[in-house]
A = this chain, B = another copy of it.
């Protein structure tokens, strides 16, 4: 599978919006019948274009009220310490995203927690204790204005 045609792109755009849509519905929207639509989706899954299907929850409703970005600077930048740091980050549930960035600091972490206490606990007992961490600067989210997982294919 070397490239995506227009129908594939339409399918991916639709599935990014609502993965529970049934085949009949998707088939109708893209102008095919069920079987070819079904086969295209299976092919997209099999070839790794579609990684997974997930439920998106309402953060507030389930009690996650605090979102924070952490700018982390490491002490040294040896390969060993970087690997250790990234491994440790992976195990921390509070960290939902972690990016190695090019800029004034080394890592940008996205943290989502229930409340301020949990965040302080995370900082004090989970992040700062990693011996590779030199400095952490927190930026608190006041309101989330936009949030989408849709990458528009054209």
Contact = CB atoms under 8 A, between A and B. Distances in A.
Interface of A: 4, 12, 15-20, 47-59, 61-62, 64, 67, 69, 86, 89-90, 93, 95-103, 107-108, 112, 139-153
Given A17-B54, A58-B48, A69 B101 contact: yes
Given A19-B55, A54-B15, A64 B97 contact: no
B56 A142 contact: no
Nearest to A103: B139
Contact of A100 (B55, B100, B142): B142
Contact of A61 (B20, B48, B143, B145): B48
A33 B147 CA distance: 35
Contacts of A16: 54-55, 57
B15 A143 contact: no
A132 B58 CA distance: 30
A151 B99 contact: no
Contact of A55 (B53, B57, B112, B147): B53
Contacts of A50: 55-58
